[in-house]
Amino acid sequence: MGCEDIKKKRRYESSQEYLRKRRLRYKNNTNGCRDRIKEKTKEYDARFKIRLGPEHYSRYTENVGLKSRYGITIREKEWMLIRQHNKCLICKTEFYESSPRATYRPHVDHCHTTGKIRGLLCKKCNLGLGYYIDSISNLASAARYLYKHRH
């Protein structure tokens, strides 16, 4: 075995050791996190007396997601729903908050430049705006195009 080979072997072993340790650390850590999240979820759901099926998000998880992604709380989202009469602001489709299908749940629409929340949209409208890169002129010309080819 040459000098280089020994070095390579040593590096390999140390990387294996490193990976093993990291895996262990990660495993322990996530297990700890998971338990903590479970506990907090229980607390939160009990406090607000909410019972959801296992396929749905718990209120706690949703609240954490909303806060980290858009900086709003679940309460603010609920107020927005009331203000919008539980309907999409563009196509007026009614939302089904507890639907297991994302299509029927409200989606938080925000401006990608300022990060400001614009409102709650259905999945299709929200994706539509995203596909048009939030561009008013693109959307207007799409509308003109559809109008030109109407039947």
Which positions touch Zn ion (CB under 5 A)?
A: 88, 90-91, 122, 125
Q: Which of 101, 146, 140 is nearest to 124 (CA)?
A: 101
CA pair distance 52, 2, nearest whole angstrom: 63
User: What values do phi and psi take at 23, rounded to 5?
Assistant: -60, -45
User: Which residue, 66 or 125, is less far from Zn ion as judged by CB?
Assistant: 125
Task: Output the six-digit token pair for 116.
Answer: 């400001």
Q: Measured from the CB atom, is 66 or 122 closer to Zn ion?
A: 122
Smallest distance from Zn ion to CB 111, Å: 17
Strands (E), the chain: 107-110, 117-121
- Give me the least distance between CB of 80 and Zn ion, in Å please: 14
We find the least distance from the C-beta atom of residue 85 to Zn ion, in angstroms, to be 13
Nearer to Zn ion, 44 or 109 (CB): 109
Residue 63 or 84 with smaller CB distance to Zn ion = 84
* CB of residue 127 to Zn ion, shortest distance in Å: 10
**Closest by CA position to 121, among listed 145, 140, 94:** 94
- List phi, psi (to 5°) of 49: 50, 50
